[in-house]
Amino acid sequence: MRKAQADLGIRAKNAEIAFFGGSFTAIDRGYMLSLLDAAKEFEDSFAGIRVSTRPDCVDDEVLDILQAYHVTAIELGAQSMCDSVLLLNERGHTAEDVISASKRIQCRGISLGLQMMTGLYGSDFEKDLATARSFIALRPDTVRIYPTVVMKQTALEKYYLEGRYQPYTLEESVALCANLIQMFEAERIPIIRLGLHYSDSLMQNGYTENYHPAFREMCESKLFYDSFLEKSKKYESKRLTVVIHPKSLSKFSGQKKSNFGRLSALGYEITVRFDDTLEKYELRIEVSD
């Protein structure tokens, strides 16, 4: 942490100390405390301390400890709010565990984050959308969304090779997650991660046909593309001006300006104008002069 503090310099005040990659409150208690002790020395140099853990490992005793060490955010690996999906994937907790843990965290004034996985074994679009709606009802401060990727030497690989499990295609994941962006954005709940981090392990040990390193950008471009097609229906002219926030140009354009290419193929002549009063995913259409 000392090196991270030195590397970040003044920016450390906007960064957090984070314990991820496992169930922090479910590890050996002595080890957990040693990690918190190590972080305590640096807490004034960073924006806060963030941990991720299981929904069934957050009781009042654990929260007492985390508060004593000034933990500022707890993320729960909820993954799904459908009990049948949780059971099939051997998650070891229930939807009610997520609800109970979320309320405990919020009652302590600690920032709540919820993590979901789309396309799990036994899930489908409607169950994933239902999970999103359940998340929204819990009013978390942040959300992370990870599309399921099959990893080698796992039970999911066995089901996949046997034909018992079919992951979403990349196109299906993009369509679903574009919808999820709209749902959470409408409720002012930030999605702080959408898609899996790139890693050599992922590429070497995963079936990555449905993975893309720029997944979020693809979802945002899909959202704008669909929004344009829907709004343009009321215009006879195909010479249209699209009005967006200045920071949304790359999202509207798509990777390598793919949205412009697709719309051009449909006969549209698009002009772009900016309005910084619009929301980041908001789009307005006007007939071009």
Residue 30 tokens read as: 């002595």
Tell me: pLDDT of 131 over 50: yes
Tell me: pLDDT of 4 over 60: no
- Are the CB atoms for 280 and 245 separated by under 8 Å? yes
Strands in 111-118's sheet, in edge-to-edge order, are 16-19, 48-53, 73-79, 111-118, 142-147, 191-194
To which residue do tokens 């796992």 refer?
A: 154
Those residues whose C-beta lies under 8 Å from the C-beta of residue 204, and which sit 6 or more positions away, are none
Per-residue confidence (pLDDT) for residue 248, from 0 to 100:
97
- Are the CB atoms for 221 and 215 separated by under 8 Å? no
> pTM for the whole thing?
0.91
- Band of residue 5 on the pLDDT scale cut at 50, 70, 90: low
- Of 42, 58, 49, 57, whose CA–CA distance to 7 is shortest? 42
Per-residue confidence (pLDDT) for residue 10, from 0 to 100:
47
Average pLDDT over residues 205-211: 93
Per-residue confidence (pLDDT) for residue 274, from 0 to 100:
97
Per-residue confidence (pLDDT) for residue 144, from 0 to 100:
98
Which secondary structure element, helix H or strand E, spans residue 270, and what is its range? strand 269-274
Flag the least confident range among 61-65, 107-111, 170-174, 207-211.
Answer: 207-211
To which residue do tokens 């030497």 refer?
A: 153
> For the chain, which domains are there?
2-213 (3.80.30.10), 227-287 (no CATH)
CA torsion angle 242 248 254 259 (round to 10): -10
Per-residue confidence (pLDDT) for residue 86, from 0 to 100:
98
- Are the CB atoms for 161 and 171 separated by under 8 Å? no
Average pLDDT over residues 105-130: 98
Averaged pLDDT of the chain: 94
Written as one string, the DSSP assignment of 76-125 is EEEE-S-HHHHHHTT-S--HHHHHHHHHHHHHTT-EEEEEEEET-TT--H
- 68 burial level (CB within 10 Å; 0-12, 13-18, 19+): exposed
